[in-house]
C-alpha cells in the first residue's frame, strides 16, 4: 500500500471561518475527513500534517525521506515565497502534487508565482476539496 503525506500550510486550519466565497464553507476538520475518505477509496495510507511555520514544513518534508511514496502539498502563502520548501522537496525527491483550493491564477498578481511548481509533477488549482482527491488519484495511479 502506498504511503502518502498530505501537507497543508499556514492558515488552512482556519478554513470555513472566513472568505467562504474563495475557500468554501467547509472547515479544516471536514477537509481532513474528506482526505482520509478519499485515501481509503483509493487504497492509500495517508498522514495529514498542517503547520503555520515554514521551518516546521521543511522539517516534515526532510523526515518524509524513505518513509512516504508521495507528497500532496498545499503550501498556502508559502507557495509564493518559499525557496526553502522548494529546496526540501528537491532534496527528498519524492513525487509531489501541489494543490490549491482556490483558482490562484485568477487572483492577485502576488499569487501568480509558485516556487513549489518548479518541482511538483502536477499542479491542481481551483477544484476546492476535490483537488486533494485528484492529487491522491494521480499518485495512486503512478507506477
The greatest distance separating any two alpha carbons of the chain, rounded to the nearest whole angstrom, comes to 40
Our finding on whether 23 is near ligand CA2 (CB under 6 A) is yes
Residue among 38, 82, 96, 102 that touches ligand CA2 (CB under 6 A): 102
Our finding on whether 5 is near ligand CA2 (CB under 6 A) is no
Catalytic residue selected from 23, 78, 119, 132: 23
Scanning the structure block, which residue is given the C-alpha cell 507506477? 143
Scanning the structure block, which residue is given the C-alpha cell 498578481? 109
**Cα–Cα distance, 112 to 107 (Å, whole number):** 8
Q: Which is nearer to ligand CA2, 23 or 119 (CB)?
A: 23
Partners of 25 in beta bridges: none
Our finding on whether 77 is near ligand CA2 (CB under 6 A) is yes
For the question of residue 138 being annotated catalytic, the response is no
**Cα–Cα distance, 107 to 91 (Å, whole number):** 30
Our finding on whether 53 is near ligand CA2 (CB under 6 A) is no
Site for ligand CA2 in 108-127 (CB under 6 A): 111
Residue among 6, 15, 35, 46 that touches ligand CA2 (CB under 6 A): 15
Catalytic residue selected from 78, 100, 119, 132: 100
Are residues 97 and 140 in contact, defined by beta-carbon separation less than 8 angstroms?
A: no
For the question of residue 65 being annotated catalytic, the response is no
Residue 102: CB minimum distance to ligand CA2, A: 3
**Beta-strand pair 3-8/122-125:** unpaired
Amino acid at each position: 500500500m502506498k504511503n502518502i503525506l498530505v501537507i497543508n500550510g499556514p492558515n488552512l486550519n482556519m478554513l470555513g471561518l472566513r472568505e467562504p466565497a474563495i475557500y468554501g464553507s467547509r472547515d479544516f476538520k471536514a477537509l481532513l475527513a474528506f482526505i482520509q475518505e478519499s485515501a481509503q477509496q483509493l487504497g492509500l495510507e495517508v498522514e495529514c500534517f498542517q503547520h503555520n511555520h515554514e521551518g516546521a514544513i521543511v522539517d516534515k518534508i526532510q523526515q518524509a525521506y524513505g518513509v512516504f511514496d508521495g507528497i500532496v502539498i498545499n503550501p498556502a502563502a508559502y507557495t509564493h515565497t518559499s525557496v526553502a520548501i522548494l529546496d526540501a522537496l528537491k532534496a527528498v525527491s519524492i513525487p509531489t502534487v501541489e494543490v490549491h483550493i482556490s483558482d490562484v491564477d485568477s487572483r492577485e498578481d502576488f499569487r501568480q508565482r509558485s516556487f513549489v511548481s518548479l518541482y511538483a509533477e502536477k499542479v491542481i488549482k481551483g477544484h476546492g476539496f476535490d483537488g486533494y482527491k485528484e492529487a491522491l488519484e494521480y499518485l495512486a495511479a503512478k507506477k
